[in-house]
Amino acid sequence: MATNKKKVLFTDSMGKAGREILAARPDVEAISFPNMAQDEEYRAILKKHAPVHATILGGTRFRPAELDAAGGMQVVARVGVGYDAIDIPGMTSAKVPVMIAGTANSPSVAEHAMSFMLTLARKGPELSALVKEGRWGDRLKPAMVSNDMFEKTVLIIGFGRIGTRTAKRCLAMEMQVLVYDPYLKAETIKAAGCEPVTSLDDALPRADFVTVHCPKTSETVGMFGAKQFKAMKRTAYLVSTARGGIIDEKALHAALTDGTLPAAALDVFDREPPDPANPLFKLPNLIASPHIAGVTAEAMERMSAEAARNVLSVFDGTPRKENAINPEVFG
């Protein structure tokens, strides 16, 4: 049946807060779809409900083929801050804004990065296994003695919404914080109490922890490989809550196997969901989580509300340009 309502197709992973914001609008028809729907399945859903005026995505890809299937798309939003699954040039060419959830999950990702660093430094998995396996007497063996983060040096790659929050938490733990972000002025980094570094190669040998928070772009894909791992201290830990592909997984496997690095922690992978046979998963010195750093109960509600408000702002002619990846489409 024909309707004058704006149709919003939203991922079924969207939280209660966002659903309630959409439901409160009598001029909006909100329709959920499976979070992991992709390609033909998702396009079929779009065609079934066309014209679709907005979509709120989780992990679903969105490209010109999906845009055509929607038949009236006005805004593409994400319950999150990543947008590598969306064809930004294609959307920009079509004058369709792509909106992200701003700072809604930034504290959560920063906390996850900190939990990774703490778990690595304090040998969480090893000591837990020691107790459970009745090896209490091994607790003072050199391999089981953990490290402080106090007075250690951390190198933060990328100083945006998440990197800045990670820096605040590291400074609170009395760490020395180095920041590598070639797109920021040194004064901005210094004002946050951190030391700017202009050369990644020069900074890596200084760091006890390296935590990656930059976006995935053509410039950052493969940013960390064998060369970078060899430049790091033999005692340094690597953490990434950014995007898969920034770290060369084959090179990381080699570094963790041959002793170049003692351990690493990843929340993101080249392929998601990753193949369970991924060689990295056989290593005891890799900690992994399923791309969930920004997904806490609280963050999901904040991101869901932000995504819904982003969509409605476009419908209402008052777009929240600060949350748009391609604000130029607004003219």
- Give residue 140's pLDDT: 96
| Residue of 291, 302, 306, 309 marked catalytic | 291
Could you tell me the two tokens for 317? 């002619």
Query: Is 174 assigned a catalytic role?
Result: no
Q: Where are the domains of the chain?
A: 6-104+297-330, 106-288
Residue 213, Cβ density class (10 Å: 0-12 exposed, 13-18 middle, ≥19 buried): buried
Q: What are phi and psi of 32, to 5 degrees?
A: -90, 155
The predicted pLDDT at position 82 comes to: 84
| Catalytic-role residue among 20, 219, 272, 328 | 272
* pLDDT confidence of residue 4: 85
Structure tokens at 254: 């080699």
Res 2: pLDDT: 54
Q: What does pTM read for this prediction? A: 0.86
State yes or no: is 272 an active-site residue.
yes
CA distances for 326 relative to 95, 127, 227, 331, angstroms? 9, 47, 34, 10
| Structure token digits, residue 26 | 């009598």
Question: Which of 245, 243, 250, 238 has its CA nearest to residue 286?
Answer: 238
Where does 106-288 sit in CATH, by number? Answer: 3.40.50.720
Residue 81: what pLDDT? 87
The residue type of 91 is M
Q: 212: which strand partners?
A: 157, 240
Whether 6-104+297-330 and 106-288 share one fold: the answer is yes
Task: Give strand pairing partners of 263.
Answer: 237
d(CA 207, CA 233): 7
Q: Is 112 a catalytic residue?
A: no
Is 3.40.50.720 the CATH classification of the domain at 6-104+297-330?
A: yes
Residue 331 has what pLDDT?
Answer: 87
Is 176 within 8 Å of 120 (Cβ atoms)?
no
CA angle, residues 174, 125, 277, in degrees to nearest 5:
120
Cis ω for the linkage preceding 182 (within 30 of 0): no
Looking only at the bridges linking them, the beta strands covering 28-33 and 263-266 are: unpaired
Q: Which residues contact 237 (CB under 8 A, 6 or more apart)?
A: 117, 120, 121, 208, 209, 210, 261, 262, 263, 264, 265
Q: Which of 243, 253, 302, 309 is catalytic?
A: 243
Three-state SS string over 43-109 comes to HHHHHHHCCCCEEEECCCCECHHHHHHHCCCCEEEECCCCCCCECHHHHHHCCCCEECCCCCCHHHH
Instruction: Compute mean pLDDT per 10 residues along the chain, 331 residues long, and list them.
Output: 84 96 98 94 97 96 97 96 92 98 94 98 96 96 96 98 97 98 97 98 98 94 98 98 97 98 98 96 98 94 97 98 96 87
